[in-house]
Amino acid sequence: MAALRWGICSAGKVSHDFLVGLKALPETSHSILAVAARSLESAQAFATKHSIPQAYGSYEELAKDPQLDVIYIGTITPSHLSCAKMMVEAGKAVLCEKPLTMNSEETKQLIAFAREKNVFLMEAIWMRFFPAMFELRRLIASGSIGDINYVNVSFGFHPKLGGGATLDIGVYAINFTSMVFGGEKPEKIHAEGTLSDEGTDNLAAVTITYPGGRIAQLSISIKADLPCEAFVYGTKGQLKVPKWFWCPTKLETPEGTKEFPLPKPYQPTNFANSEGMCYEAEEVRRCLQEGKKESDIMTLNETQLVADIMDDIMKQLGVIYFK
């Protein structure tokens, strides 16, 4: 397969970090040909910084570029649905930053649209593609820690910008839990929390109950610094993903700590371990090479399940993101 030809939708901080990760991969496998922003000036500055040949001042121009195979969408979450549909309509494969959309209904719309158009779509849950997570899934599947009966995840910090805890960072905790329990649908969800003056959730304590009495407890906060670790407990032992569990370089197992070093970034990143975004880009290439329309590691059905869980949590907290 020739190099996958990428277009970048948005010239913000997350898109910068994605480019740093992408450039850790061989140019024979991945090439970045264009970037689009809401202003041509921003797109041109981004293109210069990352040596991208084409800059566009609108997302529509990016969608119409015939040389592109796949679009990475790093825009703000409220515009994910419209941008992703635009790219899918143009026949471009899409890797869309998390969360895929603002709520369960929008997620359902976008997934249905991509399936109708027979175009590849994947939510950019980069956590799932780190080597440490492949090893965690391997150990769980091997039965080395027995039957899983309890998961505990925390994610909390003081952000520079506002936003909702569940939608912004809770998506990782919920995704980790869903991954461990094999994408099963929960039997019960109970959430307690507090809201900011703007009406968004800033603290959530969530208990998710799965069939067979298996339980996950999640602590999510944007007003307190939490350990940002994840634990998986089985009948024969436990696994720990240390801080930062959503972009891990270590996994603590009964046999000892395993380390998974990241590639070196060619430029500084805005967020921790962002060079690890290369792994989700490789997953997109693998899927397209095999003719797949979705990843079997981050399936669209599980993206929908996580969106449903987030909706449930936010409704219990009194936060609803609907148009």
Report pLDDT digits (tens) over 270-317: 999 999 999 999 999 999 999 999 999 999 999 999 999 999 999 999
Domain-located, residue 55: yes
Q: Say if residue 115 is in the same domain as residue 135.
A: no
Q: What is the pLDDT of residue 321?
A: 63
Q: Say if residue 100 is in the same domain as residue 150.
A: no
Q: What is the pLDDT of residue 163?
A: 65
What is the count of structural domains for the chain?
2
Reported confidence tier of residue 161, pLDDT bands at 50, 70, 90: low
Domain-located, residue 267: no
Taking residues 253-278, report their average pLDDT.
96
Q: What is the pLDDT of residue 79?
A: 96
Q: Show which of 127, 144, 159 is a domain's final residue.
A: 127
Element (H, E) at 201: strand 201-210
Q: What is the pLDDT of residue 323?
A: 46
- In the chain, the percentage of residues whose pLDDT exceeds 70 is 97
Taking residues 57-63, report their average pLDDT.
98
Residue 319 has pLDDT above 70, yes or no: yes
Question: Which DSSP string do the residues of 220-280 spell out, in sequence order?
Answer: EESSS-----EEEEESS-EEEE-SSTTS-SEEEETTEEEE-PPPPPSS--SSTTGGGGHHH
Q: Say if residue 178 is in the same domain as residue 309.
A: yes
Cα–Cα distance for residue pair 166/192, rounded to 1 Å: 12
Of residues 1, 6, 48, 33, the one with CA closest to residue 278: 6
Q: Say if residue 138 is in the same domain as residue 172.
A: yes
Reported confidence tier of residue 260, pLDDT bands at 50, 70, 90: very high
Q: Show which of 112, 127, 142 is a domain's final residue.
A: 127
Q: Say if residue 67 is in the same domain as residue 167.
A: no
Reported confidence tier of residue 197, pLDDT bands at 50, 70, 90: confident
Q: Say if residue 207 is in the same domain as residue 307.
A: yes
Q: Say if residue 172 is in the same domain as residue 247.
A: yes
Q: Say if residue 78 is in the same domain as residue 226.
A: no
Residue 123's domain spans which residues? 4-127
Residues 6+ apart with CB under 8 A from 76: 12
Taking residues 41-50, report their average pLDDT.
97
**Which position has the token pair 């070196």?**
264
Of residues 79, 13, 10, 298, the one with CA closest to residue 171: 298
Q: Say if residue 226 is in the same domain as residue 250.
A: yes
Pairing of strands 148-156, 214-221: parallel
Cα–Cα distance for residue pair 9/38, rounded to 1 Å: 9
Q: What's the pTM?
A: 0.96
Q: What is the pLDDT of residue 199?
A: 87
CATH code where residue 159 lies: 3.30.360.10
Q: Say if residue 157 is in the same domain as residue 235.
A: yes
Cis upstream peptide for 126 (omega within 30°): no
Interval 101-145: pLDDT, tens: 999 999 999 999 999 999 999 999 999 999 999 999 999 999 999
Cα 36–Cα 304–Cα 214 angle in degrees, nearest 5: 135
Pairing of strands 30-36, 4-9: parallel
Return the number of other C-beta atoms located less than 10 Å from residue 267's C-beta: 12
CATH code where residue 101 lies: 3.40.50.720
